[in-house]
Amino acid sequence: MTSAILNKAIESAVSSEYAFCKFLSANDTGATGGHQSGILVSVSAKNMMFTEKLPADRF
């Protein structure tokens, strides 16, 4: 089943205009016990994925 999900993800990325892939770090998953909540998305990836600026957006 895992390879079916992986194949679907690859097919989707290949057929899309844009695709984003991120390997999750231990900090992203909460394994380190740090204060981070959620996945860190770089500024360059944020600009690719989100075109509308939010009021609190400082980048």
Would you give the DSSP letter of residue 56?
A: T
Tokens of 35: 């204060």
Domain boundaries, the chain: 18-54
Greatest Cα-to-Cα distance within the chain, rounded to the nearest angstrom: 42
Q: What is the pTM of this model?
A: 0.46
pLDDT for 22: 82
- 21-48 pLDDT tens trace: 888 888 888 888 887 778 888 888 888 7
